[in-house]
Structure 1
C-alpha cells in the first residue's frame, strides 16, 4: 500500500496546474481578516458561548462558499463543527480525508480585551493566534478552495473540536468515531518555529488532587494542627521527582491552592498536575505511581486523594508515505520541511491511535503558544495552505 501511495505522491499536481492552489494564492489578506475575527473572540475551554461564536464565524465563510456546515452541541463546552466538500465525480466517493482542529484556547475570558489581535513586522499576535486559530482558518480556506475550484478525488471533511486544551474529556470518543476508517488526517496545530511538521507526540495526563488536614490556631496550638499545605508541598517534590529524561516522562505541578488565613494551620489544599509521556510508557502504571504519592500520609493526620484524571494519547509516528506526500508538495511550492517529535500533546494522538494515518502541525508557522508572546507568521499562511491542498490532491 505504501509503495502505491509513494508513487501517487510523486504525481501530485504542481502549483501551476491546480486551480485550487491558484485561488489560494490571492487569499492572504482574506485569511488574515478571518484570523483577526476569530482571535478577537474569547474561547477558552468550557466557554460555551465563545467557542460557539468562533464556530459561527468560521461557518459563515464556509457557507458563503457553498460548503454545508453542521454544529453538534457539546454541553458545557460549546459545539463541534462538521463540514464537507464532496467531489464532483461519482468515483470520488468513499472514505474521506479529514482536516482537523480545535476551537478552544487556554486563555480566560477578558484576555481579548487586554491584548486583542495585532500585526507587527509580519507577525500576528493575540490569544490563540497560533494554537490554533490560524490553523482553523487555513483549513477553512483549503476547503473553500476545493468547493470553488473542484479537483477532489475523495470527500474532504472538516472537523473542529471544542475541548482539546483540557485533554478532550467530552469529545475524545466522538473524535475517534469520526475519523475511524478515514484515508488520512491533517491536524492544523501550528507549524514548528523551524517550519517543520510533527510526526509524533507525547501523550499527556492531567491529575487533580486534594489534601485534607487538621485546622488549628497557628500561634496558640500549632502542634494540634496538620497542615494540608505542607503535605501538598512534600507531594509536589515527590511528583516532580517522577521526571525522567531517559524515559521521556515529565511531571509539573502547575496549579496549587490552599489554606484559609495565614494564622490557621491549613485544613485543605489542592493541586493540578501535568504529566507527559511517550508511546513506550504505560500510562496506567504512571497514574498508579502518582496515586501512591498523592495518597501517602506525607504529613501525619493528612490525607490525599485524586479527584480527576484525564489523558491524551501519544501520537504514533506518521507513516513515511504521508510525510513524503506533504514534503513533495511543499518542495514544489519552494519550501522544505522535516517531521519532528514534540512533547506537546494533541488530538492527533487520538486519530493515530485508531490507525488513521495522521500528520500534525500543518497550520501556519507559529511560536510561544500558551503565552502572551504567542505569534503567527502571516507569510506562511498561503504556502502552507497550498501544501495541505497538494497533499489532499495527491492522496489516493
Structure 2
C-alpha cells in the first residue's frame, strides 16, 4: 500500500457512499453483539458474537473461518482477495479486533445496550464491539466494489482483555506477510488515534505464612497478610523507577478468619512498561521483592506471569495517510501514546507498520460509564476504508 497516493476517485466515492447509508445497520449489529455477554473465558458468549458477525460477513459473500480455543471461544477470520489486476505478490492489510470484554456474565442483561443522544452505552460498546462493527462493514464495503489493490484480511481474537495468552501465535500467523495492520480499538475520547502503547505484565503471586490463634498464641504464627502488605509497599515503590513504568497491586485475597493469623495470601500485580524499558531487569527486581522473606517464616512465590508487548511507534507516513483521509471526511486526528496494552503490540513487534484506535470514538472503557459516540461510526469507517484503498 502506498502511503502517499490518492485512491481512485470513483472507487473511493462508491465506498464512501455505501458506508454513508449504513448507520442504522451498524447500530443494529452493535446492539445485537453488545447484548451478548462475552467476557474473557466466557466461551459460549464469544462464540455467539463470532456467529453473529460471521453470518453477516457470509451474507456479504465473504468466506469465514473460525478457530476454537478450548475454554476461551472462537477466533474469527475472513479474507477478501485483491481486486483483479492487483499485484500478485502484494502483502495483505490486516484488520484487527477482539470479541472478549472485561465484564462478568449477567452484565449485558443488567445494563443492556441503550442510546442517549449520540452516545450508546453497554458492556464493551466501545472496547471494542463498535470496532468489530466498523471493521465488519469496511470489509463488506470493499467486497462490494470488488476489493482493494491488496488483499484485506480480518482477524477477531477471543482473549485480548487478559493479554492474549492462547491466541498470540494465531495473531502472529494472521499478521505474517502483512503490509500494514489497522486495529479498530476505540478512538480516544479526544477523537485521536493511537500511535504507541505501553506493554503490560500480569504477575500472580502468593505468600505463605504460619497459622496460629490470634488471641491465644499469635507469636507462634507468621502472618502472610502482613508479609504481603510489606511486599505491596515495596512493589509500589518501583513506580517511576524508569520513565513510563507503573506498578499496581490491584487484587488481593487471603486469610481464614479474623481470629487466625493468616497462613496464606495472594495478589495480582499489573506492571506497565514502554518499548525502551529493560523488562528483564525490572522483572528481576519484582521477583526479588516477591520471594524475599518480608517477615520471618513467610515465603513468597510467583504463580504465573504473562506479558503483553508494547506497541512500537507508528511510522509517520501511515499516520499521515489516515489523517489525510480523515480531513477529506471533515474531521481531524492526531496520534496519541497510551498506557493501555493491545494486540497491536504483537504485530508491531514483528516489524509491521501498525496503527491503532481506529474504531469509533469512545470513553470510560471497562466501567459502567463506557460509551461509544455512535455518530462517529460511519466517518471512521469511511476513513479506514479510504486508507486501505490507497493504491500500490
CA distance in 2: counterparts of 1:159 and 1:395, whole angstroms: 22
Question: Which runs of no fewer than 5 residues in structure 2 stay unpaired?
Answer: none
Q: Is the 8 A contact 2:12 2:389 kept in 1?
A: no
CA distance in 2: counterparts of 1:210 and 1:17, whole angstroms: 56
Q: Which residue of 2 aligns with 1:301?
A: 297
* CA offset digits 1:117-161 (Å, max 9, x no partner): 111121011111000000000000000111122241111110001
Please tell me whether residue 5 in structure 1 is matched to residue 2 in structure 2.
Answer: yes
CA distance in 1: counterparts of 2:8 and 2:113, whole angstroms: 35
Q: Which residue of 1 aligns with 2:211?
A: 215
CA distance in 2: counterparts of 1:52 and 1:384, whole angstroms: 26
Q: Which residue of 2 aligns with 1:268?
A: 264
Selected match of 2:288 from 287, 292, 297: 292
Q: How big is the shift at 1:79? A: 1.0
Q: Which residue of 2 aligns with 1:327?
A: 323
* Residues 395 and 216 (structure 1), Cα distance of their counterparts in 2 relative to 1, 3 Å cut: farther
Selected match of 2:230 from 234, 242, 247: 234
Please tell me whether residue 77 in structure 1 is matched to residue 72 in structure 2.
Answer: yes
Q: How big is the shift at 1:382? A: 0.1
Q: Which residue of 1 aligns with 2:30?
A: 35
Q: How big is the shift at 1:6? A: 4.2
Pairwise CA RMSD of aligned residues?
1.4
Q: Is the 8 A contact 2:205 2:268 kept in 1?
A: yes
Selected match of 1:132 from 128, 134, 147: 128
CA distance in 1: counterparts of 2:3 and 2:72, whole angstroms: 40
Mapping 1:296-375, distance limit 5 Å: 296-375=292-371
Please tell me whether residue 66 in structure 1 is matched to residue 53 in structure 2.
Answer: no
Q: How many residues align?
A: 391
Selected match of 1:57 from 48, 52, 58: 52
Please tell me whether residue 165 in structure 1 is matched to residue 154 in structure 2.
Answer: no
Q: Which residue of 1 aligns with 2:94?
A: 98
* CA offset digits 1:68-123 (Å, max 9, x no partner): 10001111211110101123304354321010001111111111121111111210
Selected match of 2:197 from 201, 206, 223: 201
Q: Is the 8 A contact 2:99 2:132 kept in 1?
A: yes
Selected match of 2:171 from 145, 168, 175: 175
TM-score, length-scaled by structure 1: 0.96
Q: How big is the shift at 1:15? A: 8.7
Q: Is the 8 A contact 2:242 2:277 kept in 1?
A: no
TM-score, length-scaled by structure 2: 0.97
Please tell me whether residue 386 in structure 1 is matched to residue 387 in structure 2.
Answer: no
Q: Is the 8 A contact 1:130 1:374 kept in 2?
A: yes
* Residues 328 and 14 (structure 1), Cα distance of their counterparts in 2 relative to 1, 3 Å cut: farther
Selected match of 1:22 from 17, 20, 24: 17
Q: Is the 8 A contact 1:15 1:333 kept in 2?
A: no
Q: Is the 8 A contact 2:46 2:100 kept in 1?
A: yes
Q: Is the 8 A contact 1:15 1:332 kept in 2?
A: no
SS at match of 1:91: coil
CA distance in 2: counterparts of 1:194 and 1:157, whole angstroms: 28
Q: How big is the shift at 1:305? A: 0.3
CA distance in 2: counterparts of 1:303 and 1:246, whole angstroms: 28
Q: Which residue of 1 aligns with 2:243?
A: 247
SS at match of 1:384: helix
CA distance in 2: counterparts of 1:379 and 1:15, whole angstroms: 25
Selected match of 2:186 from 181, 190, 208: 190
Q: Which residue of 1 aligns with 2:140?
A: 144
Q: How big is the shift at 1:185? A: 0.5
Q: How big is the shift at 1:16? A: 8.6
SS at match of 1:80: strand
* Residues 17 and 211 (structure 1), Cα distance of their counterparts in 2 relative to 1, 3 Å cut: closer
* Residues 114 and 83 (structure 1), Cα distance of their counterparts in 2 relative to 1, 3 Å cut: same
Moved over 6 A (4+): none
CA distance in 1: counterparts of 2:293 and 2:211, whole angstroms: 16
CA distance in 2: counterparts of 1:284 and 1:78, whole angstroms: 32
